[in-house]
Amino acid sequence: MAFLQYPSPSFRITSIPTYSLPIRASSRLFLPVTPRLNSTTPRNWVQDFRAKSLNWIFSGALALSLSLTGVGFAEAKVGVNKPELLPKEFTSVIDVAGFLSDGQEKRLAEEISNIEKDTGFKLRVLAQNYPDTPGLAIKDFWQVDDRTIVFVADPTFGNILNFNVGASVDLDIPRSFWSRLAGKYGNMFYWKEKGEDASIEAAVLAISNCLREPVGPNNCSEVK
């Protein structure tokens, strides 16, 4: 999976070298350490890389940032794991930041349910203000897998749209879609003018439209 987000005061952005990996979501994951390249096979290295990255991503709540300037990584100083912030019953939308009204949460949950029925992909939405986040706890709560998109709405560091994209999703959705989506509805000018809730709703609708398009060379070429 690939995770996309911004640093907190306990994070620092660092440029990193680009590694040649198989074209799958795991190739976009970056750890706060230099990858070891002495694995027995490329496949074993990628699997090990993905497993370590997932733990780091969720324990730090948000690890990578996808912005118009590209992908970088943030070094997590303190992991976050607060299961007490999770709801008692399952829901595809968790708003610990209070950005959404009850009606908005219900509409989003209905749209997300329809997406899963129609496409087989799982969209999950977490609205937070880091470090007030369930962090690692959402991984098991939502049973995050290769067909899951975790959308974290957090305005703390500028762009409010952040995504953890499963490997199967990454095969069907162009990677450029996420950067264009963040650029259109996640930028500070947009959500400060229209509100965090407007950014979240617009992003979910755009993801829904994208996932419903036939897979091909031009799918998701526009953020609708």
CA 199/CA 212 separation, integer angstroms: 20
Tokens 């979240």, residue located: 200
Tell me the average pLDDT across 189-205.
Answer: 97
Encode pLDDT of 27-81 as tens digits.
Answer: 333 233 334 444 444 444 444 434 443 443 454 444 333 332 233 323 333 578 9
Please give the pLDDT value at position 78.
53
Please give the pLDDT value at position 9.
36
> Taking all residues of the chain, what is their mean pLDDT, rounded to a whole number?
75
Please give the pLDDT value at position 26.
33
**Is the pLDDT confidence value at 16 over 50?**
no
DSSP 215: P
Those residues whose C-beta lies under 8 Å from the C-beta of residue 167, and which sit 6 or more positions away, are 1, 24, 25, 26, 50, 146
pTM of the model: 0.70
CATH class of 83-212: alpha beta
Nearest alpha carbon to residue 59 among 118, 138, 117: 138
Encode pLDDT of 132-189 as tens digits.
Answer: 999 999 999 999 999 999 999 999 989 999 999 999 999 999 999 999 999 999 999 9
CA 208/CA 112 separation, integer angstroms: 8
Is 84 or 77 the better-scoring residue by pLDDT?
84
- Sorted by where each begins, the domain ranges of the chain are 2-74, 83-212
Confidence of residue 202 (pLDDT cuts 50, 70, 90): very high
Is 88 or 48 the better-scoring residue by pLDDT?
88
> Please, are residues 101 and 197 in contact by the beta-carbon 8 Å criterion?
yes
Quote the tokens at residue 201. Answer: 């709703």
Please give the pLDDT value at position 8.
38
